[in-house]
A and B are shown apart, each in its own frame.
Chain A
Amino acid sequence: MDDLCIIGAGSGGYVAAIRGAQYGLRVLLIEKDQLGGTCLNRGCIPTKCFIHDVKILTAAKRSPVMKGADRVSIDIDKMVSRKRQVVKTMVDGLAMIMKGHGVRVVQGQGELLAPGQVRVHTMDGRRSEESVKYVVLATGAKPGTPPFLSVDGHFVQTTDEALDPKDLPAKLLIIGGGVIGLEMTAIYRLLGSEVTILELLPDIIINEDAEIRKAMRMLMEQQGVKIHLEAKVKEVKIREEKVEIDYENQKGQVEKLQADRVLVATGRIPVLEGIDVQNLGLGMNEPFIKVNGKFETNLPGVYAIGDVVGGMMLAHKASAEAEAVLANILGQPKRIKPELIPRCIWGLAEVASVGLTEEEAKAKGRHVRVGKFPYMSNGAAQAMDDINGFVKIVGDSESGEILGVHMIGQHATDLISEAVTLMTLEATVEDFAEGIKPHPTLSETLMEAALDWSGILVHKLKQ
C-alpha cells in the first residue's frame, strides 16, 4: 500500500510527488499523458521557446546596425522541432528525477473510487486498483470553449493546436484578451500574422494594474494588433477556407470579421475525468473542486491543488500549493498567501506583477503612495535598445509595506522575483533601494522606483 497517490503529474502533481518522497512517503504518481503537464507540454515552456525565437527575429529585423536584416525569417518547422526537443529534454529529466526519488509513476487515467481508493486505467486497457492513505487531485485544466464554438483543430484552434503550427495564418483572430491571448498574439504577430483580439471584458488582462494595461494596449496597437473590447462573439462560420465571425460591439451592433484562423483563448476549465463528483459527493466551488486553506476537500484524506481548484492558473501557484499540501499532510500547517504569488505575461512586452494593483490597494483603504521609474531613463535598457517599459511600486505611505509591484518591459518576469522575495520577507519599499544594485542592469529600475517612492530619485529631471 502506498502512502500517497497523486493524480496528475503537472507542476502541482510532480512537485507533490518529489516532496512526498523526500519526506519518506511511498508515492504513486498517475499521469495519463506526459510528465510535466500543461506547463511543460502545452503551456509555459513551449510558448517561451517560441517567444525567444520570435524575439530574436524581431530584434534582428529592427536592428539599425545589422546588414541584411530585412531578409531574415524563421523556419516554422525548425522552430517547432526545437520546442519539441526542449520539452523532451525537460520531460526526460523529470522522469529521471522521479526514478531517483523512488516515485512509482504509472501511465494511465487515474480514477478516484472513494477516499483512499484509486483505480488506474492503463493505455493497453488494463485496470488496477490501489489503496492509499492520502490522495492528491492535481488533474489540472484544459482549454474551455464557448458552447457555440466547435474546435476543429485547423480553422478553429486552442493553444493545444496553436503551439504545434504547421503553417502561418495571414489573418489570425484571437477570442480572449487574457494572458493566453496576449502571449499567442506576441508569437503570431512577430512571426508576421495580422492579429485581431476580441475581448468580452472592458479591457485586456483585466486583473493587472490600470497603467500597465494601458501601456500594453498602446504597445500592441502600435505594433498593428487590433483590439476590440466588450466584444461578444455571436457566431463563427467556416466558408471557402476562411473563418467568418459575427460579434456584437460595445454599442450592441453586430459586426463581421474574416480570418484565416481563429484561436480560442477564453479561459481554462478543470479536468475532472476520473473524478465522479456526484457519486463521490465531492464538494465543488463550481466549476472547480472546493478546498479549504489546507487544500483539503470535503472527503477525508483527499486533497486537491493547482488549476483544478481554480484561482490563478499558474504553474508556480500549483507548485507552491504542492509544497503546502505536503506540509499539511505531514502536520506542519502551511498556507499560501495569494498576494505573494507573482503573475507573468510574455506578450509583445513582458508584464510581471505581484500583490495589489493601485486601484485594489485604494479600494482596501490603504494609504497608497506610488513610485515609478521608466526604462527610458535606465542605462541598460538604452544599451539594449529597448526602452519600452516602466516599474511601478505601490506602497503603504505609513508603514512602507510593499503592497504591489507592477512592471512592463523586457525581463520584467525575471525582475519581479526581487519584489516577491522582499514582500515575502516583509521588507519595506525603502529596502529596494537599500541593497546596492549592479550597474548597468535593468534591476536598477526597481531601486529607482523605490527612490521615487521616497521622493529622492536620482536619474530623473527635477520636477
Chain B
Amino acid sequence: MATEVVLPALGLTVEKGKILEWYKKEGDPVQKGELIFLVEADKVTTDVESPSSGILSKILIPVGVEVPILTVVAIITGPGEKLAAKSLTKGPQPSAAKTYEKPPTPVSPGGGLEGRATSLSDRGVVPAARRKAKEYGVDLSQILGTGPNGVILLKDVEGVLAGESKISAVKASTLARKLAEKEGVPLKEVQGTGIRGRIMQADVKAYLERPTATAAEPPLGSTIPMSTIRRIIARRMSESAFSAPHIYFFSEVWLDPLLQFREELLPVFEKHFNLRPSINDFLIKAVALNIADFPMLNAQLKGEQIHIMPEINIGLAVAMPEGLIVPAIPRADRVGLVEIVRQRSDLVGRAREGKLTLQEIERGTFTISSLAHYDITHFTAILNPPQSGILSVGKTDEKLVLVEGQVRVKCITRLGLSVDHRIVDGTMAADFLQHLKWKLEHPAFTFMSL
C-alpha cells in the first residue's frame, strides 16, 4: 500500500514550506520515524520523519520549491509494489499541482530549451528522462548520459535534480564558476548575460554587488511587500493585542546584589565550564523559579479552558533584521544555570543564523524581552500568544536612593510585566512581580543550586 508523504503542518501560522534537503534518494528504503527531509518554514527548519516503512519510490517536490502545507511531496511504496502511473507525473492532489511552482528555466535568448532538447533526439534520451527534464526545466544538452551509447536515462536527469550529478544544469564560464565557488554564490540564482544565457564572471560580480534587502533603508514614499516573517509577526501581534486584554505592572529592582553575585561567579564559570553567564541567564532562571510558585503565569487559554502548561519553557526575544524570533529554553526551572547559559548561547546563535527548529520556538510558555542595551527605562510588551505573561527589561541605572536617611548609590533596573487579564488578575501579577524582585535582589538564596 503506497503512502503519500505530505509536507506536515508546521505550526498554527505556517502556510507554506520549502524542502531544503532530501536525506533519502528515490529507491532508498525508509523506516517509519526515520528522518527523510528537512523543511524550512517561517525562517525555521524542521526535520520530517517518514510516516511509514517501505521504499521511497518517488520524490515529487525537489529541493528549493515552496509548496503549501499538506502538499504530497513523495510516495513510499511497500516492497515489490509498483508505483501508480498518476504518481509519476505531478502531485496526486489537484490543489497541490496547481500551486506547485516549477524551478525557473534558465533563460537562453536566441536558443530555446525546447529546440535544443529536440535536437538531442539523435543522441538518445529515454522518454521518461525527456519528460522529467521538460517538467523541471533541465537542459538535456548539459547531461552526460550513462546508458548504452551515452543514452540519457531517467536517473541521469534525476541525478542533476538531486544535485548529485557533477554535471550541473547551469552554464557558466570557468572563471565564473571559480569566482562563485570562492564567494559561495549559488550559480542557479545568477542571471547569465553571455551567449545563450551563459553565466560570465561579470554576472557573478553583479550578483555579489546586488543590493540586499537589509543593505539599504527603503526610500520615503516607497511601497514594499511584507516578508513572510513580517506577515507572521503582524498577524500574531494584532491577534494578541486585540484578543488578550493586557494589563501592565512595573517595579524597580535593586540590581547590585545580582551584579556582585555574577562578578563572583564569572571566574568560576569561565574556569570550570568556559562559559560567561549574562544577566539574562540569571533572569531566565529566576523567572522560571518564580513561575513554579505562580503556575497561572504558565497558562494558556484554549477555548473555554485554561491549560496550565506542564513545562516551564522560557523564551528570550532575539531581534533580527527581518523581525523578532523567540527561542525557548526548556524546563528552565529544573535545569541548572550552567545548562541555561549553554542553551541560551546556542539558541541565540542559531537564531541569528536562521537555524532554529520550529519546536524550539513553539515550546515557549513565558517570554522575556530585554532592551537593557538601549537607553530605555521601561516599556510595555505585547504577549507572545498563546502565552499569558511577558517580562520586559529596561536599562540599569545608577540612582541616588535614601536608605535609612542616608543617600546611597544603587543600580536600579525597571522590570515590566504584561499579563493576559482573562487568566491572570492584577493581584496575582503584582505578587508575581514582587516575588521576582525579591528573588533577583537575593541571588545567593535564589540561585543556591546552580
Since A399-B178, A425-B174, A428-B178 are in contact, a sample of 12 more A-B pairs with Cβ atoms closer than 8 Å, ordered by chain A residue number, is: A399-B179, A399-B182, A400-B175, A400-B178, A401-B175, A425-B173, A426-B174, A426-B200, A426-B201, A427-B175, A428-B174, A428-B175
* Neighbouring A residues of B175 by C-beta, 8 Å: 399-401, 426-428
| Interface check A414, CB cutoff 8 A | no
Interface centre among B173, B174, B176, B182 (most CB of A within 10 A): B174
Q: Scan B149-185; emit 1 where CB is below 8 A from any A CB, else 0.
A: 0000000000000000000000001111011001000
- Which chain A residues lie closer than 8 Å to B178 at the CB level? 399-400, 428
**A400 contact set on B, CB distance < 8 A:** 174-175, 178
CA A38 to CA B25, docked complex, whole Å: 65
What would be 23 A-B contacts, judged by CB atoms less than 8 Å apart? A399-B175, A399-B178, A399-B179, A399-B182, A400-B174, A400-B175, A400-B178, A401-B175, A425-B173, A425-B174, A426-B173, A426-B174, A426-B175, A426-B176, A426-B200, A426-B201, A427-B173, A427-B174, A427-B175, A428-B174, A428-B175, A428-B178, A431-B174
Query: A-side interface residues toward B, CB under 8 Å?
Result: 399-401, 425-428, 431
Interface residue range, chain B:
under 10
The CA of A399 and the CA of B201, in the complex, are separated in Å by 12
Residues of A within 8 A of B200 (CB): 426
Closest to B178 in A: A399
Q: In the complex, which residues of chain A have a beta carbon less than 8 angstroms from the beta carbon of B174? A: 400, 425-428, 431
Question: How far in angstroms is the closest Cβ of chain A from B366?
Answer: 54
Give chain B residues whose Cβ lies under 8 Å from the Cβ of A401: 175
For A427, give the chain B residue with the smallest CB separation.
Answer: B174
CB distance from B410 to the nearest CB of A (A): 59
Q: For B173, what are the chain A residues with a Cβ–Cβ distance below 8 Å?
A: 425-427
What's the minimum C-beta distance from B197 to chain A, rounded to whole angstroms?
14
A431–B178 alpha-carbon span in the complex (Å)? 13
B204 → chain A, closest Cβ, in Å?
A: 10
Nearest-neighbour CB distance to chain B for A195, whole angstroms, equals 43
Interface residues of B in 199-235 (CB under 8 A from A): 200-201
Residues of B within 8 A of A399 (CB): 175, 178-179, 182
Closest B residue to A400 by beta carbon equals B178
Taking CB atoms, residues of chain B closer than 8 Å to A428 are: 174-175, 178
Q: Which residue of B lies closest to A431 (CB)?
A: B174
| Residues of B with C-beta under 8 A to A425 | 173-174
CB-defined contacts of B179 to chain A, threshold 8 Å: 399
A401 CB to nearest chain B CB (Å): 6
| CB of B49, distance to nearest CB on chain A (Å) | 44
Residue in chain B with minimal CB distance to A337:
B202
Q: Which residues of B contact A431 (CB under 8 A)?
A: 174
Minimum-distance CB pairs A-B, first 7: A426-B173, A426-B175, A428-B174, A427-B174, A426-B201, A399-B178, A401-B175
Residues in B neighbouring A427, C-beta threshold 8 A:
173-175
> When each residue 182-203 of chain B gets 1 if its CB lies under 8 Å from chain A and 0 otherwise, what string results?
1000000000000000001100
Closest to B202 in A: A426
A445 to B182, CA, bound (A): 31
A389 to chain B, nearest CB (A): 28
In the complex formed, the residue of B with least CB distance to A430 is B174
Report the minimal beta-carbon distance from A320 to chain B, rounded to whole angstroms: 15
Determine how close the nearest CB of chain B comes to the CB of A371; give it in whole angstroms. Answer: 17
Residue of B nearest to A399 (CB): B178
Q: Shortest Cβ distance from B11 into chain A, in angstroms?
A: 45
Which residue among B175, B179, B182, B201 has the maximum number of chain A CB atoms within 10 Å of its CB?
Answer: B175
In Å, the complex CA distance between A401 and B174 comes to 9
Smallest distance from the beta carbon of A273 to chain B beta carbons, Å? 39
**CA of A102 to CA of B33, assembled, Å:** 74
Chain A residue nearest to B175 (CB atoms) is: A426
- Please measure, in the bound complex, the distance between the C-alpha atom of A89 and the C-alpha atom of B178, giving whole angstroms: 48
Q: How far is the CA of A415 from the CA of B182 in the complex (A)?
A: 32
CB of A250, distance to nearest CB on chain B (Å): 43
Bound Cα distance from A431 to B177, whole angstroms = 14
